Structure 1
């Protein structure tokens, strides 16, 4: 029957090809653990996560968590320079808030973020060797930074772990083709 209706056959073949093809995208899954600290004066940490090249050039900001509401001490942007490494490579030239990047500080616990190569965070990221950096700074607390090297785009699924000592818990990076 399809031989008698070649246009219908071609249309059905195209629809079948489009609907059966997997819609895959390379992605990064990032998990950041903020440990529960037993201290007298606890403040949620400011956290920044970004990707940089081997020569320490910023490639992309993934997320920046800071106090977004005004308090009697001022607006939270006043304390962003406490994320010293992030501030040097990106923060001082960034006009916050940035849609899709900045957000409010997070409570203790594990926080999962996913980025695909279809989103601005990873879109057009050239192939190469990179380092994911996660930095945390807390008022009346300390500073900490972890680094995880990875290659983009991933040839196969890979998982990398790093662990902070005080301000950051486990940081997990999964890259998937």
Structure 2
């Protein structure tokens, strides 16, 4: 009996709905029809108010050699923490809408303190352009609703968080 009860308690933790403590990130990669198209390398991370990297959310890349084209990312995180980069790496993605989330924790899994942070998204394409998007937001339990205009390599970005 005891084992069954413990198993139910453990399983119930796996099906809890998402909480209001997550920042939802809607990221669009635009369709580019000019010239030869290569899928972009994209890095998405959160920095604190002193622009120190707090959490690498995702990086989309194909070959490790070209990650240096994500210049800010490379300087801040890419060259210094290869195991973290490898752990968060996914395949490059084509044009479309992508949903990402940040749970308010740093790369070590520790909840960050309330304060001002910024989401940073960097994209670079072979035979294409580069773009860096930085958007500040407050992480203090209040709602977040921010929309960032589209650019050449990164489409519209929306940040949202519901207040508890």
TM-score range, shorter chain: 0.7 to 0.9
8 Å CA contact 1:147, 1:162 repeated in 2:
no
TM-score, L = length of structure 1: 0.74
1:53 lines up with 2:48 in the alignment: yes
- Mapping for residues 3-18 of structure 1, pairs under 5 Å: none
SS in 2 for 1:166: coil
Q: CA deviation at 1:122?
A: 6.5
8 Å CA contact 2:105, 2:112 repeated in 1:
no
- Mapping for residues 1-177 of structure 1, pairs under 5 Å: 24-67=19-62, 76-96=63-83, 97-99=85-87, 101-117=88-104, 123-155=110-142, 157-177=143-163
State the alpha-carbon separation in 1 of the partners of residues 105 and 151 from structure 2.
Answer: 34
Q: Deviations over 1:138-176 (max 9, x none)?
A: 000010011111111332x22111123200110111123
Unpaired runs of 5+ in structure 2? 1-16
Q: CA RMSD in A?
A: 2.2
Unpaired runs of 5+ in structure 1? 1-21, 68-75
TM-score, L = length of structure 2: 0.80
Q: 1:23–1:59: structure 2 CA closer, same or farther, 3 Å change rule?
A: closer
Find the structure with the greater CA-based Rg: 1
